[in-house]
Amino acid sequence: MNLERVVFGFFTILALTFNLIFVMGEIDNPSHHDVWVLTIAILVNLIATGLKLGDRSQIGALLLAASLVADLLLITARIFWIVAESDSATGPTAQATVNIVSLAAGALAANVVSAVILVGDALMSRR
């Protein structure tokens, strides 16, 4: 067992799961989406992206691209949250929450692509 691959896979799957945890719930209900889960998802995605920087293979380039897309969308969602929170004393409105969760769902799609590529690479290396 390669410890580097374990850590790499751990953070990739952890990024996917934190992203999924944030997206779950009614899309327009702000009480179903926690800002701290979004923040942790951003941090875990950034760590996963950092781990992907060292891989110079073709698959590594695809993994890095997918991770950068997820990072960009999650950071944009957090910026939307900050702006929406500053506009209203009660927190993000339903419309703002729809935008935030939609951005996070896009990041979830990118994280699913990363996970599929990771699993595919692992299956190919066993042969």
Q: What is the pLDDT of residue 87?
A: 86
Q: What is the pLDDT of residue 127?
A: 55
Which amino acid belongs to residue 91? G
- The pTM of the full predicted model, rounded to 2 decimals, is 0.91
pLDDT tens, the chain, 127 aa long? 789 889 999 999 999 999 999 999 999 999 999 999 999 999 999 999 999 998 888 999 999 999 999 999 999 999 999 999 998 888 899 999 999 999 999 999 999 999 999 999 889 886 5
Q: What is the pLDDT of residue 91?
A: 85
What's the DSSP call for residue 127?
Answer: -
Report CA 19 to chain centroid distance, whole Å. Answer: 5
Q: What is the DSSP string of 33-102?
A: S-HHHHHHHHHHHHHHHHHHTT--SHHHHHHHHHHHHHHHHHHHHHHHHHHHHHH-TT---HHHHHHHHH
What's the DSSP call for residue 32?
Answer: G
CA angle 116, 64, 14 (to 5 degrees): 55
Tokens of 68: 């950068």
Tell me which residue of 62, 76, 42 sits closest to 114, measured CA to CA: 62
